[in-house]
Structure 1
Amino acid sequence: MNMMTSLSVPFADLSWQWNAVRGAVMPDIERLFAANAFCLGKWVTDFERDVAGYLGAKHAVAVSSGSAALHLAVLAAGIGPGDKVLVPSNTFIGTVWGLVYAGATPVFCDVEDATGTIDMADAALRMEPGVRAIIPVHLYGQPADLTAVFDFAARHGLIVIEDAAQAIGARYDGRAVGTLARLGCYSFYPGKNLGGAGEGGLVVTDNDADAAALRSMRNHGQSERYLHERIGFNYRMDGLQGLVLGHKLPHLDDWTNQRRAIAAHYSQALRDLPLKLPQVVHQDHVYHLYVVRTPHSESLHKHLRMWGIETGRHYPVPLYRQPCFAQLPSPAHGFPVTEDFATNGISLPVFAGMSVVQQDRVIEAVRSFFEAGGAHG
């Protein structure tokens, strides 16, 4: 096989997942429309019950997006104007929107070279008056170093909110990530490991008061219809999303194992190349993304595109360089590891249903780049 063959490899192909659940979903869609269960309703309630059981959480509160989940979690934790929150600099901006909406200020921290997750030694250097919380991100599908996070939080009296948007199904010390802190947040954006037919999110907690506040805030702050006891939002999950997610949830472990097998195939086949490959450091990885690093990432991206292979860049502009945060004080320390991920990172395709032929196509294309001297061009 060579680059002139017609085989292409998308970055993700969600049609395979749809085909796995279509037969069960379509009759339920008819039932949903007949029941007018468009906002919250039976299928959302059923999904909340089932996903809480899957994760081992007391309460699961379904919302309209992962960003909405993080916003409500910040509010439920009592974080607001004047507060500061430690966050990793190498993450999607949705991690920090919620705290910004609440009037708090992000304090960006560099990340571990092996994982891309928050570096707690670096976070210690950035600790300052006014910091009330920390949001570790289980990036690319791998848990952050939660032992270090919780030790640090305990020493400084910080609230911990887990951002597990990319890591549903990953475990730490035998527990699902997202369930170890006071509040944990997930995203069901279609491309996630568990993705809906549109936007969706979830907050989990074992705290009854937090759960009640979350359920009220997602639905206009209501305790009962037209009685608004607090400031609220229209963050309800659509019934269709609950329906689709409920049918996909029983497949999640199988789809996760497929991702792990693809990642193992890549790591074995690419181990001798001058690439930084993903490392499993903090116990588990569900491979939402398979990110490699090379100083020649842009050339490699173009080379793979010529082979018909789509890749991703996560995340090329770090949060501290985003124009919307230009007003924040300049940090006293740099972010060398985040810069490495931003400049040199390239995400290879990894998705449930990816064929061995497609995997081998990616491997052959990556190897050809280095073996042909592309890294020196």
Structure 2
Amino acid sequence: MVDLKEELRLIREPILVELTEVIESGDYILGKKSEELEKLVAQYVGADYGIGVANGTDALQLSLMALDIGPGDEVITTPFTFFATAEAIEQVGAKPVFVDIEEETYNIDPAKIEAAITPHTKALIIVHLYGQVADMKEIMKIAKTHQLKVIEDACQAIGSECDGRRVGALGDIGCFSFFPSKNLGAFGDAGIVVTNQKELYEKVSKLRNHGSETKYQHSTIGMNSRLDELQAAILLVKLYYLDIFLHKRKEIARRYTEHLHHLFKTPSVQENREHTFHQYCIELDNRDELAAELNKKGIASAIYYPIPLHLQEAFQHLHYKEGDFPVAEKSAKRILALPMFPMLSFQKQDYIMSTVKRLMKNNG
């Protein structure tokens, strides 16, 4: 699905220079590289502040903690996302409340949000799934009307734009993951929180470091979620290439769609809502059969995500049942991701597309 070795061949030398600099500095946690990355990522997404953390899941949990969300509170989100989105809500003692998704974007459907709001609702976690931006214009209107906080789970969508503004800085607080396979990936776990609000910046900065601003003085209960210097150094190099790589992703997606749109449902690109294609997901009835045949031909594929969150065993205590969110459930049974990474050659793209066409023709 992703060939990170191809990418490494391009950026190996500058990364080794950066890593050597960190190793020789003896400064490994919350050092100059982390500070520089925080500043540059915040600038990139259009936020005033950035706080490097250990991973994207921690970014979500720390954001909830900074917003004082906990037991007795409800947080509305999507059932069609990676487990961490709702896991973070449970980790702070709050209750995830799911809302079904849009058929075209796979993101939360704004038209269905207000029906899920109760007196206990404190926030929304909006996921920009696969790099496709959620309808933030409508979502922010709803949040303002009901005085709700908005956390953007932009872990798959760094660089995506809505009405010319990059995600992460559209709500109260934004979360990014730098897991190796992400559009901007480290060589291990890493993440960042961004915000335009100084109070939230100060809270998250303290919470990520055991609730401490001054060494050995702890004003609150926090956690250990600090971004290390080695990962920050790697990300500084890769950040330089990010827009180039995003452009390549969009070009690959354009070619896929041009050649395959007549065979099955291909990703939509909404007006004023950009898609940076962390994943390129098609949708079809015989998904599993196609995946098996592609595997025989040496072509990887993946299902993101086969079981919606409301049907996961870990969330059975929420008492949702099959049929509660029909769009998410239907998508989970039909969606399939094709290989997508910036270094995917024209030759490999053509092989994937020609193989898919042939298999679809053979299967009627």
What TM-score, normalized by structure 2, do the two folds share?
0.97
C-alpha root-mean-square deviation of aligned residues, in Å? 1.3
**1:76-115 matches, cutoff 5 A:** 76-115=66-105
Q: What 5-or-longer segments of structure 1 have no aligned partner?
A: 1-10
- Alignment partner for residue 183 of structure 1, among 173, 186, 189? 173
Question: What amino acid maps onto 2:7 in structure 1?
Answer: Q
- Say whether the 8 Å CA contact 2:323–2:329 is kept in structure 1: no
- Say whether the 8 Å CA contact 1:111–1:337 is kept in structure 2: yes
TM-superposed CA distance for 1:333, in Å, is: 6.7
- Alignment partner for residue 143 of structure 1, among 108, 116, 133? 133
- Say whether the 8 Å CA contact 2:99–2:325 is kept in structure 1: yes
* Residue 326 of structure 2: aligned partner: 336
CA distance in 1, matches of 2:306, 2:240: 34
SS at match of 2:41: helix
**1:213-228 matches, cutoff 5 A:** 213-228=203-218
**1:291-370 matches, cutoff 5 A:** 291-330=281-320, 334-370=324-360
TM-superposed CA distance for 1:222, in Å, is: 0.8
- Alignment partner for residue 279 of structure 1, among 256, 263, 268? 268
Number of matched residues? Answer: 363
Superimposed CA distance per residue, residues 171-222 of structure 1 (whole angstroms, 9 cap, x where no aligned partner) = 1121110101110000000000000000011100111111111111111111
CA distance in 2, matches of 1:16, 1:245: 17
**1:249-264 matches, cutoff 5 A:** 249-264=239-254
* Residue 65 of structure 1: aligned partner: 55
CA distance in 2, matches of 1:272, 1:54: 37
- Say whether the 8 Å CA contact 1:16–1:352 is kept in structure 2: no
- Say whether the 8 Å CA contact 2:284–2:335 is kept in structure 1: yes
Superimposed CA distance per residue, residues 269-303 of structure 1 (whole angstroms, 9 cap, x where no aligned partner) = 01221x11100115211000001011100000001
Question: What amino acid maps onto 2:276 in structure 1?
Answer: V
- Say whether the 8 Å CA contact 2:81–2:308 is kept in structure 1: yes
- Report whether the alignment pairs 1:268 with 2:279: no
- Report whether the alignment pairs 1:55 with 2:45: yes
* Residue 4 of structure 1: aligned partner: none
- Say whether the 8 Å CA contact 2:101–2:109 is kept in structure 1: yes
TM-superposed CA distance for 1:331, in Å, is: 6.3
CA distance in 2, matches of 1:56, 1:329: 39
TM-superposed CA distance for 1:330, in Å, is: 3.0
CA distance in 1, matches of 2:242, 2:46: 15
SS at match of 2:122: strand
* Residue 32 of structure 2: aligned partner: 42
CA distance in 2, matches of 1:294, 1:349: 16
* Residue 20 of structure 1: aligned partner: 10
TM-superposed CA distance for 1:121, in Å, is: 1.7
What TM-score, normalized by structure 1, do the two folds share?
0.94
Superimposed CA distance per residue, residues 99-155 of structure 1 (whole angstroms, 9 cap, x where no aligned partner) = 211110000111000000001222233223311111110010011000111111122
SS at match of 2:127: coil
CA distance in 2, matches of 1:322, 1:277: 27
CA distance in 1, matches of 2:220, 2:181: 33
- Say whether the 8 Å CA contact 1:38–1:238 is kept in structure 2: yes
- Say whether the 8 Å CA contact 2:18–2:234 is kept in structure 1: no
Q: Give % identity.
A: 37
TM-superposed CA distance for 1:332, in Å, is: 10
Q: What 5-or-longer segments of structure 2 have no aligned partner?
A: none
Question: What amino acid maps onto 1:42 in structure 2?
Answer: K
SS at match of 1:97: helix
Deviates more, 1:253-262 or 1:333-342: 333-342
TM-superposed CA distance for 1:83, in Å, is: 0.3
SS at match of 1:347: strand
TM-superposed CA distance for 1:25, in Å, is: 1.4
- Report whether the alignment pairs 1:121 with 2:83: no
